[in-house]
Amino acid sequence: MILALVLASGVVRASGAPAGGGTPVVDRAHHEVRFEATVQPNAMSRPFGVQGHHAIVWKGGKSKTWALFVSEASDHDVRAALESLGAHAGENLTPDSWNARKDPDNHEPDKRVEGTRVSVFVEWRGSGGRIPLAKLIDESLRTKPLLDFRYGGNEKFQKDFKSGCIVCLYSCPGGAIGNHAHTIRDYVRNGVVYASIPERLPPAGTKVTIILKLEGP
């Protein structure tokens, strides 16, 4: 059961997660969820894993090695925090959206994640304010990356994927938030198109604040 402590500022801190940076902060006035993470500037291009795919992953998830940001807050607690603000989970993907990605006769990998729109920002000491995730990521053959984040939900699939993924760059059933702009079929067809921009990021190991802002019902 998720309990909440209402602070004098009107901000709600969800409990049931580890203390400190592992506890998502719910800002009802601004429709935001904030939590601490650690930057891994070059992790998205590490070999022997799914590259160019994971933007933000919980530190207890299997996919943290290839994530640009490793979150102190769990994907479960981030989902609970988003839903406490009224976020609607699309829940339109299935495990086959990923598992059948190489099967041309299966249409699940062609699905686009649905759900409440979410803007993703990152802030750290010296950043000069919050920075859209889109300014920290490059997409090949484009002047700016196609990112249309939606709260897909997908918690029921975590028993199988165990990825811990909070923000995915594709419409993936393994992540809480996915990118409506690109399907898993796109990932198979086009290969790795996303990469971090290390020169725009702080040094590896820097603590940052992730901000998830709801943009609709």
The pLDDT tens digits for 24-63 are 999 999 999 999 999 999 999 988 878 899 999 999 999 9
For the chain, give the number of residues.
Answer: 217
What does pLDDT average to over the chain? 91
Query: Looking at the DSSP assignment, which residues form a beta bridge with residue 151?
Result: 177
The per-residue pLDDT for 17 is 35
Average pLDDT over residues 140-144: 89
Q: Pick from 157, 181, 19: which is nearest to 79 by CA?
A: 157
The pTM of the full predicted model, rounded to 2 decimals, is: 0.90
The per-residue pLDDT for 3 is 35
CA atoms of 94 and 107, how far apart (whole Å): 11
Tokens of 96: 């086959």
The per-residue pLDDT for 6 is 36
Q: Is the Cα dihedral 48, 170, 88, 86 positive or negative?
A: positive
The dihedral formed by the CA atoms of 73, 216, 180 and 26, expressed in degrees to the nearest 10: 0
The domain spans of the chain are 4-214
Q: Is residue 93 within 8 Å of 113, Cβ to Cβ?
A: yes
Query: Looking at the DSSP assignment, which residues form a beta bridge with residue 49?
Result: none
Average pLDDT over residues 163-182: 97
